[in-house]
Amino acid sequence: MIAQGDNGFFRERTDTCVTDNGLCPGWVVDHLDRYTTPLLQHVFLTVTSVAAGFLIAGSLAILAHRRRWLVGPITNVTGILYTLPSVAVFFLLLPITGRGNLTAIIALTAYTLLILFRNILAGLDAVPADARDAGRGMGLTDRQLLWRVELPLALPAIMAGLRIATTTTVGLAALAFFAGAGGLGEPLEAQKAFKTNVVFAGGLCVALAIVLDAMILLVQRSITPWTRAA
Amino acid sequence: MTVLASVLDTFGDGLDFIVNERTGRGGGEVGGLSANGDLLWEHLKLCLVAMAIACAVALPLGLWLGHTRRAAFLAISVSNIGRAVPAIALLFVFFAFLGAGFANVALALTLLAIPPILTNAYVGVREVDPDAVDAARGVGMTGPQVLRRVELPLAMPLVFGGIRTSAVNVVATATIAPLAGVVTLGDPIINPSIYGEEGRLGAAILVALLAVATEVVLAGAQRAVTPRGLAASPRRRLMTRTRTILAALAALALMLGVVACGDDDDDGSAGGGGSSTQAAPTAAITKNAENASTTLTVGSKNFTEQKVLGEIYAQAFAAAGYKVRKELNLGDEQTALKALKGGQIDGYPEYTGTALLSFFEVPTKDLPKDATAAYDEAKSRFAEDGITAFPPTPFTSSNEVAVTQETADKLGLKKISDLDGKSQDLVLYGSPECRGRDDCLRGLQNVYGLKFKRFVPVDIAQRHEVLTNGDADVSIVFTTDPQISRNREVLLEDDKGMFPPYNSTFLMKTETADKAGPDLQKTIEAVNKNLTARVMQELNARVDLDKETPAEAASDYLQQFDLVSAGS
Amino acid sequence: MTAAHVPPSSAEPLEFRGATKRYPGAAEPAVDALTLEVPAGEICVLVGPSGCGKTTAMRMVNRMIDMTDGDILLGGRSVREREPSALRREIGYVIQQVGLFPHRTIAQNIGTVPELLGWDRRRRDERVAELLALTGLDEDLASRYPAQLSGGQRQRVGVARALATDPPVMLMDEPFGAIDPINRERLQNEFLRLQERLRRTIVFVTHDIDEAIKMGDRIAVLQRGGRLQQYATPAELLMQPANDFVRDFVGADRALKRLALLRVRDVDLWTEADIDFRLEVDGDGRPVAWIWPDGRRSTSVTVVERDDVLRDALSDLLQSQTQYGAVVDPRGRLQGILSVELIHDFLVPEAAAASGDA
């Protein structure tokens, strides 16, 4: 491929795949280590943001479930957060939270709130009314009803929301390098004219999204056995 | 509370950028309503084109598939796949394969916009009450009539929802279009060097407002086309809106409270330095434990050679035992100097010629022609500002005026003055700052009296590509670029001596340098010893041609020339 | 009889004392000063047209709806003084759609309240097994999910769940309303048999006067606006309706309805000796085939149970080929023979009394 020149430092460039900007698997193999840290950062950013979004949106959904008048305002506020472009949000947050992981995570979390809030709420709303009535009639308190009946029955919808939120966050986390938080966007942008790099880094993003999606689906299957019976 | 005050101050600057013009770092005017309005228009043009094509393609297809109930799997999967592909990756794939330019970026955005429109149109039609469709058929409507009069109106909310989602995505992604060579409202965010930090913030505010406005406008349009029977009552909407405003204010107050009382944690480093090595007998740089108490932040400007140099110095300092942080890829020289003076970085490699022209504004006729004289002049002027300019590198890397072999042959070009009389038919490409610099376009205009047909600002990284793909007739490149020989470019001789010598000298505030101790100068001199033009060119080739990282190239250099020991 | 692990609790009497529910802005109250007493161990049926407040009244007992006035006493204690969740754990609650938890197995569903009360695993499992047997369900249904059961099975699980802690009072809101008529009859009979063993105090809501007459020890007829029209035993209701409303509600076929009050076992049954047909039985004593006087053998045997109400038995007999029915006990063993003629003869004294005050 690349032969060493006279005193060992100067190279003779014989293979033209890379310099001609082609798709060079060999190059990828040689430089795999360049993508490991960004990949790990990407996973970290995605998981953290989705988890934070889940906690916040979940709490909001449980609140709004009983006090319906909250649904409209919460939907609108999270909707605005969803509309704001992440890149803009990174730089709007910059004066406040500086460069780094925190800024990126805040922006990514804000983006997931609408999706998760809507899905968790829809899941809770879809709980059969007679199961709820029977539960209350048997003596379950509101809290017991929520945790033992409503949330478990809302799980399919909640999981669906998690899957959507995760795949979109993987895509957005590719922009996190603007905020100084790394991620796969960093190597992607660093050599954006080099076809091999762009295809590989972009492909890693897609692969990550698929893997995380499948993992959530597996978890969903295992904790909702009743959806597969009958 | 002072944190809150400084934050509000910064936002004030950003808002000021939106309305008031000011002089940018490249010399031209930036900011202000009219300039930002132009950027806004470019942004909208791109988005409208992409949305128009996407709707034209995806709407009929989605509606028809939904109506005939075909290809369910495809229609739904296209959305799932679309969600998983990052917009930026799509943008860069098109950029890498098709190049820069409006058409290519618009194409990428179109592809981005299609999935939500397609899937929503499909689902919207599918979800229409089957009884309504049945009744319509029953009274004798044909297929297309059913679609037009029954299914489409009832599917409107979902169909429009898809258009809204796409529109917002497209507006957001158009923000990073400058990375692919199309200037939009995101330009100040992507290229802050010309616009400044307040430009960055101002543009971020504008982009956010644009996205929200898009959403609101389309939501209004959606309401306008939704059949009356399906709409929510206006009174409920008003109540919801009031509560929304209250909720948003509450959230904002909460955030401000957190900011006011919280800590401002600035995480600026991009990671630790390079090698921490054992002292090997053959290595020129050895670790001195005393240096560990000194932290040095190494910066660099934004092109390959600078990044490599920055890495070399950073790794060398780390090998000498200093604690090192890196802030490479800052921007142009003005940005870098500002960062140095402001304390954001402790040092960066500058060029003697650049310093003389851009910082000290030495007129062309007074520029020293000799490398040593140039260095001495720069050194004494920097010393007046309390900055130490360390001994320079052997190599000099000047701006060069380059043309392709074909152009040189066709027009008989050997020297820059050969362009006289011919330049008015030629297009010049250069970095955004080139326009106002005496060692770039302004110098060519003043010293050689050249007028070009058009000047196009482009990312520095593209300076050779624009020659090979024929966009540029003339481009500004650097002496140490490996692409020159590779692409067989011709460098025109500077017969009127417009360009000064450009040796690299490492700059640092004098007081920082004194605190760092004698190892600092020793390390820099050891590093500089082998940086000949040929070596620098090889290092550039490692990054530009072999697609290695600057860090890898720097590390190789330090090991190859026994500056640090192996095992880093 | 009852489970050894559950201390046999005695049923408690229930009393409505001027219980009223008034919704803000409504012209009439939903329940208007309802006053009646349900003796311990009896089934009180609340019946009436839709909107008469019967369900509201029932739901006031376990405070799913709170009274605006008056009181309800459970075993002498006012329900208003009890904490609602704690109160409800002592009251069995069965609703029309059953409301089983789809995400839990049948065993977990039945064990809901025991789990809330902190029973240990073993105790819960044993109680679940007992209740399955009690309600006629196969024990391997315990690990299935509600979606895998039929409507009738789910209904039984609902009853089992309500009985889990042997509560002193049970509330049942149209529990058999969503079941097809054939299974409804079976479930009603089984429930009555269960009640004979357990003798809980039950408030039973229905809109079906026939069901009310069949199931109730006492019946409360309610008019729109939650006003009590008559509170009496089924026989009294049929023979002495208090006013025109009750008379119309009960219906013009009061004579036939009387048949619903009587059961097969109340009749002195014939034996084979009284008829020309022979009844062939198998080794367990179960009827298998009729032998006609002319020697023909027919396996079409109409079977009625001892506990069946006479009206249902008459209906079955009218359809049979032989006009005779084989009466069996709960295990299917032959007890005697029933015929249309026999029923008529039995009723004659009743009919005479009825026509007397028509």
What pLDDT, in 10s, does the model give residues B223-245?
Answer: 887 777 666 555 556 666 666 66
| Residue range of the domain that includes C80 | 14-251
Nearest CB partner across the interface for A139, out of C88, C97, C148 = C88
In a domain, C4, yes or no: no
Q: Is A25 a domain residue?
A: no
| Assigned domain for A7 exists | no
* Cβ atoms < 10 Å from Cβ of C23: 12
3-class DSSP assignment, residue B396? strand
CATH architecture of B399-492: 3-Layer(aba) Sandwich (3.40)
Pair of tokens at residue B48: 């409208």
What would the pLDDT profile of B161-218 be if each residue is shown by its tens digit?
899 989 999 999 999 999 888 889 998 888 776 787 888 889 999 999 999 999 999 9
Cα-based distances in Å from B331 to A97, B334, C338: 22, 8, 105
Q: Is residue A162 included in any domain, yes or no?
A: yes
Sheet holding B347-351, edge to edge: B323-327, B295-299, B347-351, B504-509, B387-389
φ, ψ at A11 (rounded to 5°):
-95, 150
Say yes or no: C272 and C245 in one domain. no
Last residue of a domain, one of C200, C223, C251: C251
| pLDDT tens profile B371-406 | 899 999 999 999 999 999 999 999 998 889 999 999
Q: Considering the domain boundaries, does residue A8 fall inside one?
A: no
Is residue C273 very low, low, confident or very high in pLDDT (cuts 50, 70, 90)? confident
Residues of chain A found within 8 Å of residue C86, distances taken between Cβ atoms? 139
Enumerate the β-bridge partners of residue C69. Answer: C20
Show which of C251, C286, C310 is a domain's final residue. Answer: C251
CA neighbor of B100 nearest in space, from B458, B509, B427, B480: B458
Supply the CATH number for residue C202's domain: 3.40.50.300
Query: Residue C24 CB: number of other CB atoms within 10 A?
Result: 5
d(CA B351, CA B473): 27
A224/C145 Cβ within 8 A: no
Q: Would C134 be classed as within a structural domain? A: yes
Confirm if A94 and A103 have CB atoms less than 8 A apart.
yes
Q: How many CA atoms, within 13 angstroms, populate the side-chain half-sphere of residue B555?
A: 13
Considering its fold, how many domains does chain C have in total? 2
Amino acid B265: pLDDT: 41
The verdict on a CB contact (< 8 Å) between B204 and A77 is no
Average pLDDT over residues B436-463: 87
Which domain covers residue A159, as residue numbers? 35-224
pLDDT of residue A152: 93
* Pairwise CB contact (< 8 Å): A85 & B207: yes
Residue A64 domain-assigned (yes or no)? yes
Domain ranges for chain B:
2-231, 235-262, 289-396+502-560, 399-492
CA distance A87 to chain B (A): 8
For residue B100, the one-letter residue type is: A
**Does the domain at residues B289-396+502-560 carry the CATH identifier 3.40.190.10?**
yes
Inside any domain, residue A160: yes
How many distinct structural domains can be found in chain A? 1
Q: Using the predicted structure, report yes or no on whether residue B332 has a pLDDT greater than 60.
A: yes
Q: Is the dihedral of CA A176, A182, A183, A185 positive or negative?
A: positive
Number of other residues whose CB lies within 10 A of the CB of residue C183: 15
Q: What are phi and psi of B347, to 5 degrees?
A: -170, 155
- The list of chain A residues with pLDDT below 50 reads 1-6
Classify residue C119: in a domain, yes or no.
yes
CA atoms of C308 and A175, how far apart (whole Å): 76
Is residue A213 included in any domain, yes or no?
Answer: yes
C164 and C22 assigned to the same domain? yes
Residues C18 and C119 reside in one and the same domain: yes
Name the helix (H) or strand (E) containing B430: strand B427-430
Query: What is the total residue count of chain B?
Result: 568
Query: Are C230 and C315 in a shared domain?
Result: no
Per-residue confidence band for C134, with pLDDT thresholds at 50, 70 and 90: confident
Check: CB of residue C55 under 8 Å from CB of residue C47.
Answer: no
For domain B2-231, give the CATH superfamily.
MetI-like (1.10.3720.10)
Q: Does residue C230 sit in the same domain as residue C269?
A: no
- Beta bridge partners, B323, equal B295
pLDDT value at position A2?
43
- Cβ–Cβ contact B217 with A under 8 A: no
**Distance of alpha carbon C125 from alpha carbon B562, whole angstroms:** 77
Which residues of A fall below an 8 Å CB-CB distance to C?
128, 130-141, 144, 149, 152-153, 155, 224-226, 229-230
Q: Which residue type does A217 have?
A: L
Query: C61-70 pLDDT, tens per residue?
Result: 999 999 999 9
- On whether residue C194 sits in a domain, the answer given is yes
Which domain CATH number covers A88? 1.10.3720.10
pLDDT(C356) > 60? no
**Cβ–Cβ contact B180 with A under 8 A:** yes
The model's confidence at residue C267, banded by pLDDT at 50, 70 and 90, is confident
A22 domain residue, yes or no: no
Neighbours of B14 (CB within 10 A): 23
pTM: 0.75
DSSP string, B37-65: HHHHHHHHHHHHHHHHHHHHHHHHHHHHH
- Are the beta carbons of C64 and A152 separated by less than 8 Å? no
Residues C177, C99, single domain; the answer is yes
Residues C224 and C287 in one domain: no
Average pLDDT, chain B: 84
Q: What is the mean pLDDT of residues B5-10?
A: 83
Widest CA span of chain C, in angstroms?
Answer: 75
- The helix/strand count (H/E) of chain B reads as 23, 12
ipTM, two decimals: 0.87
